[in-house]
RNA sequence: GUCGGGAUGGGGGAGUGGUACCCCGUCGGGCUCAUAACCCGAAGGUCGCAGGUUCGAAUCCUGCUCCCGACCCCA
């Protein structure tokens, strides 16, 4: 056995969320992105890939300055508080990230931004240019003429003044052809296809250079200084996008960073920041001589009970409240199965509760309980071995065995709703199988009939095998529930590997089941008559 | 204004050429192992409107109506 080749498996996937501004606490919209991204990461880990999943916070936005001004806090206090609130989102939602990049707090970030800036500059893509535009002192930002109402700031209704300053600009125009080609060819795969078209037509309409720095004196101490030009700070978007490099150690030039080594680079993002990820970011990477992202998965936005959500709109619901009221599993389930992955949709608590109760509790939870109860009562709680497969068993086996290919396809296409639909076909088929075989009837005659006794054991073994398959499949999406199901079936941990969904593969092995109890208690008790 | 998305039975969603599908809800039945859960069946849709292509369209084309979004920022 050679020693040198015994390296760790190569990193197959880097998967990221965007890093949100921290001018306010997190809301459900970002929870959607976290849960989608986490499910993706967990799924590929279960399939045997080495995965690095990252999230973080963008601490250098001037919006935080305004948020602080409103409450009278210091900017650093606002940033620190909200950044840690975002950091807590992962554990809250059972979303497991390997990295959390805080752009102000993570020591790897600044050198990464600096190196990226220098790389673009060395390639001749950064230049200084005068910028002259209307400026609102209250907003502390520039406006284009068409955004103003007769020279008056739309936010504050006060007259703007014309200001001129020098900024660094990025030669985006130079990359138009390469970007168009990369997007058209699928080198950068953009999901859904409609978003790809959108970006493509934007690129083909012509790209103009964009500013990548601001005057430092107006930055309120936020941001990263432009290398060799202390009068400027790096523009917040250039800064924020670089977080995807910081994760992999790009700031340290002594070794190739992960971004360069990883098999696939996958970004999950909201439609509002598509342009930054599909145009500016790839152009910056091209300039710096770094590989392009491989996939951009663009989700839609949520409304909340029909109303627009916004960190600034004030109606944001704290995901902590949702988890407190319904549990992380219910929230994840609703977001994954009932929010279409790419489209705008309405988040409605009532539908969350209905989905949880009828699908998780009634269909899946009850299935688990009825099977384990039968095993407990008639087989002393010891999982029996599989017997001969007749037609019914073969039908169920077919559904189970075909599941993995469907999951691969749907997760590959970011269709979490369809992935869960596919899993639920097995849930429903297994309920039907139990109804059709009527193990409780078999048990009645089994006392005197050895053949029926064997048949009973076999039926319940099939039921248990199906539950094991379900636990394995659900681990990526509902990790806590999957673990609980595994435990109920007598296996200590949730299955990590998802190599097969065949019932035979997952056949019980004599485990001693736990005393049966409801797997998923209903949120809303249904008690009538 | 420019660009884009959507309109499917009471509610929410699938469905890009071949008898319209899933979940909830409603009604009826079965079962009784189970969280009054599970299973079966039924009612309910001219798939926004009008044309067109086609042997055949929710699905392709044209026009129209309505809703929403993006174009400054936003997950």
- ipTM of the complex model: 0.83
CA of A60 to C1' of B52 (A): 56
- Does A455 or A274 have the greater pLDDT score? A455
- Does A528 or A276 have the greater pLDDT score? A276
Looking across all nucleic acid strands, the nucleotide with the smallest C1' to CA distance from residue A23 is B74
Give the model's confidence band at A397: pLDDT under 50 very low, under 70 low, under 90 confident, else very high. very high
Protein residue at shortest CA distance from C1' of B31 = A435
**Is strand B less than 7 A from the beta carbon of A237?**
yes
| pLDDT number for residue A418 | 86
Q: How far is CA A223 from CA A210, A393, A407, in A?
A: 18, 63, 42
CA of A332 to C1' of B74 (A): 22
* CATH node for A4-346: 3.40.50.620
| Subset of residues 128-167 in chain A with CB less than 7 angstroms from any atom in strand B | 144, 147
Report, in ranges, which bases of strand B sit under 7 Å from a protein C-beta: 3-6, 12-14, 16, 22-25, 30-40, 68-75
Residue A15, pLDDT > 80, answer yes
- Cβ partners under 8 Å of residue A144, min gap 6: A133, A134
Domain with CATH 3.40.50.620 in chain A: 4-346
Phi-psi region of A380 (alpha: psi -120 to 50; beta: other; left: phi over 0): left
**Is strand B less than 7 A from the beta carbon of A522?**
yes
Give dist(CA A44, CA A52) in Å, integer. 10
**Mean pLDDT across chain A:** 86
Q: How far is CA A311 from CA A71, A285, A381, in A?
A: 15, 30, 51
CA of A273 to C1' of B62 (A): 34
Give the model's confidence band at A1: pLDDT under 50 very low, under 70 low, under 90 confident, else very high. very low
- In chain A, the percentage of residues whose pLDDT exceeds 90 is 54
Give the model's confidence band at A529: pLDDT under 50 very low, under 70 low, under 90 confident, else very high. very low
Lowest-confidence region among A63-72, A177-186, A460-469: A63-72
Looking across all nucleic acid strands, the nucleotide with the smallest C1' to CA distance from residue A298 is B75
- Residue A187, token pair as written in the block: 């080198």
Residue A177, pLDDT > 50, answer yes
- In chain A, the percentage of residues whose pLDDT exceeds 70 is 89
CATH-assigned architecture of domain A349-528:
Orthogonal Bundle (1.10)
**Is strand B less than 7 A from the beta carbon of A173?**
no
CA of A358 to C1' of B61 (A): 43
Average pLDDT value for residue range A125-142: 73
| pLDDT number for residue A308 | 66
| pLDDT number for residue A309 | 64
| Subset of residues 370-429 in chain A with CB less than 7 angstroms from any atom in strand B | 370, 373-374, 377, 417-418, 421, 428
What is the value of pTM for the model shown? Answer: 0.92
| pLDDT number for residue A141 | 61
Domain with CATH 1.10.730.10 in chain A: 349-528
| pLDDT number for residue A313 | 45
CA of A351 to C1' of B11 (A): 10
**Is strand B less than 7 A from the beta carbon of A460?**
no
Lowest-confidence region among A40-44, A136-140, A465-469: A136-140
User: pLDDT tens digits, residue range A39-98?
Assistant: 999 999 999 999 999 999 999 887 787 778 778 888 888 889 999 999 999 999 999 999
User: pLDDT tens digits, residue range A475-504?
Assistant: 999 999 999 999 999 987 655 689 999 999
């Amino acid at each position: 056995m050679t020693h040198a080749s015994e390296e760790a498996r190569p990193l197959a996937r880097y998967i990221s969320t965007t890093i949100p501004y921290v001018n306010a606490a997190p809301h459900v919209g970002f929870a959607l992105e976290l849960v989608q991204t986490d499910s993706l990461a967990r799924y590929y880990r279960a399939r045997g890939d080495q995965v690095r999943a990252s999230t973080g916070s963008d601490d250098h936005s001037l919006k935080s300055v305004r948020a602080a001004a409103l409450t009278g806090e210091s900017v650093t206090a606002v940033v620190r508080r909200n950044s840690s609130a975002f950091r807590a989102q992962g554990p809250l939602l059972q979303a497991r990230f390997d990295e959390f990049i805080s752009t102000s707090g993570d020591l790897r970030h600044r050198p990464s931004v600096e190196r990226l800036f220098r790389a673009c500059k060395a390639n001749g893509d950064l230049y200084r240019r005068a910028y002259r535009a209307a400026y609102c002192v209250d907003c502390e930002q520039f406006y284009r003429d068409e955004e103003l109402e007769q020279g008056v700031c739309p936010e504050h209704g006060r007259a703007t003044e014309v200001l001129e300053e020098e900024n660094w600009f990025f030669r985006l125009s130079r990359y138009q052809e390469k970007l168009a080609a990369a997007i058209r060819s699928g080198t950068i795969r953009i999901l859904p296809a409609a978003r790809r078209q959108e970006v493509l037509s934007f690129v083909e309409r012509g790209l103009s250079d964009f500013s990548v720095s601001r005057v430092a004196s107006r930055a309120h101490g936020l941001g990263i200084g432009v290398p060799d030009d202390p009068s400027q700070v790096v523009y917040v978007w250039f800064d924020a996008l670089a977080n995807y490099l910081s994760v992999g150690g790009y700031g340290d030039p002594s070794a190739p960073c992960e971004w360069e080594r990883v098999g696939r680079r996958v970004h999950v993002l909201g439609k509002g920041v598509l342009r930054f990820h599909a145009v500016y970011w790839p152009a910056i990477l091209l300039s710096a001589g770094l590989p392009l992202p491989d996939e951009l998965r663009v989700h839609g936005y949520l409304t909340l009970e029909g109303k627009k959500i916004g960190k600034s709109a004030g109606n944001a619901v704290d995901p902590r409240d949702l988890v407190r009221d319904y549990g992380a599993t219910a929230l994840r389930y609703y977001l994954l199965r009932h929010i279409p992955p790419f489209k705008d949709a309405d988040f409605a608590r009532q539908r969350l509760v209905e989905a949880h109760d009828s699908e998780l509790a009634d269909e899946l939870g009850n299935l688990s309980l009825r099977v384990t109860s039968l095993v407990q009562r008639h087989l002393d709680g010891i999982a029996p071995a599989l017997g001969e497969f007749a037609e019914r068993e073969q039908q169920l086996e077919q559904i189970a065995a075909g599941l993995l290919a469907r999951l691969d396809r749907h997760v590959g296409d970011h269709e979490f709703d369809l992935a869960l639909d596919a899993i639920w076909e097995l849930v429903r088929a297994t309920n039907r199988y139990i109804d059709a075989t009527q193990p409780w009837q078999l048990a009645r005659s089994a006392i005197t009939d050895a053949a029926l006794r064997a048949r009973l054991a076999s039926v319940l073994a099939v039921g248990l095998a199906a539950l094991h398959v379900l636990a394995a499949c659900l681990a990526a999406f509902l990790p806590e529930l999957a673990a609980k199901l595994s435990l109920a079936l007598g296996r200590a941990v949730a299955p990590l590997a998802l190599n097969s969904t065949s019932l035979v593969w997952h056949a019980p092995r004599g485990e001693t089941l736990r005393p049966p109890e409801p797997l998923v208690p209903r949120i809303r008790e249904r008690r009538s008559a």
